[in-house]
Amino acid sequence: SAVISQKPSRDICQRGTSLTIQCQVDSQVTMMFWYRQQPGQSLTLIATANQGSEATYESGFVIDKFPISRPNLTFSTLTVSNMSPEDSSIYLCSASRQGPEQFFGPGTRLTVL
Amino acid sequence: RKEVEQDPGPFNVPEGATVAFNCTYSNSASQSFFWYRQDCRKEPKLLMSVYSSGNEDGRFTAQLNRASQYISLLIRDSKLSDSATYLCVVPSSGGYNKLIFGAGTRLAVHP
C-alpha cells in the first residue's frame, strides 16, 4: 500500500470562492484519482489525474469546475472552483501502483456556505 | 442494471454472529473484485481482493460466483470493531484501473 496525505483536512468556504486540495503520496505511484463522497452516499469518481497531461474526467465533471494537476508521480491537486453549497462534500484522493487496488487519503471535508 | 448493487442494510447482529453480504455486478468481463471497509468519517480501506473463486483472511471470507455475477463477504464470529460500512468494488467496464464503488452495506455489531 501507500501512505497518502491530504491538505486541508477540512475547510469552510464562502460561495463563489475556490479551494485547492493537495494530495501527497509517500512513494511513486502509477495512477492517482479524485473522488467525491456526499453525505450518506458512496464514492463517485471525478477524474483520473494523469502525470504530465490533462486529467481524464468522468461524465458530469468538467475541467473548468474541477481543474486537476499532477506534476509528478507523487503529488496531485484538485481545485473546486466557484463553489456553491452543492459542492459541500468529502473529497478523496486515491492512488494505485501495478494492480487495480486503490489506497485512499484521509479525505478533505468541505462545507460551502 | 447498475454496475454494482449491494443490500444497504443495516445489518444489526450480536457479537459472535455470522453475517453475509451479497453484491451483484454487471460487467461479466471483470477479473478482480474488492471489498473495502469504511468507518464513520474515515476513508475506505481495502479489506480483501478477489481474483479467483474466493479469498479467506481469518474471520473474513469472500466468494465469487461468476455465473451469477455476484460476490459475497462472510464475517464469522463478529466483533464490535467490525461495525462499519462494507463497500463492494469492481473495475469499471470503461477501464481496468477505474473502480466502481457500491453504495455500501452497513453493519452494526452489538453486545
Is it the case that residue B74 has pLDDT exceeding 90? yes
Task: Give the separation between CA B49 and CA B52, rounded to whole angstroms.
Answer: 9
Tens-digit pLDDT profile for residues A65-107: 999 999 999 999 999 999 999 999 999 999 998 888 999 999 9
CB contact under 8 A, B91 and A103: no
Contacts (Cβ under 8 Å, ≥6 apart) of B58 = none
Is B96 in the A-facing interface, judged by CB distances under 8 Å? yes
What residues does A52 pair with on adjacent strands? none
Q: What is the DSSP letter of A96?
A: E
Q: Taking all residues of chain B, what is their mean pLDDT, rounded to a whole number?
A: 92
Q: Is residue B95 very low, low, confident or very high in pLDDT (cuts 50, 70, 90)?
A: low
Given this model, what pLDDT does residue B2 score? 79
CB contact under 8 A, B91 and A45: no
Q: Is residue B96 very low, low, confident or very high in pLDDT (cuts 50, 70, 90)?
A: low
Is it the case that residue B103 has pLDDT exceeding 70? yes
Tens-digit pLDDT profile for residues A27-47: 998 899 999 999 888 899 999
Cis peptide preceding B10, ω within 30 of 0? yes
Quote the Cα angle for B53-B91-A37, to 5°: 125
Q: Which residue of A has its CA nearest to B106?
A: A40
Task: Give the separation between CA A108 and CA A27, rounded to whole angstroms.
Answer: 21
Specify whether the CB–CB gap between A71 and A92 falls below 8 A. Answer: no
Chain B residues lying within 8 Å of A30, measured CB to CB: 97
Tens-digit pLDDT profile for residues A6-29: 999 999 999 999 999 999 999 998
Task: Give the separation between CA A56 and CA B95, rounded to whole angstroms.
Answer: 12
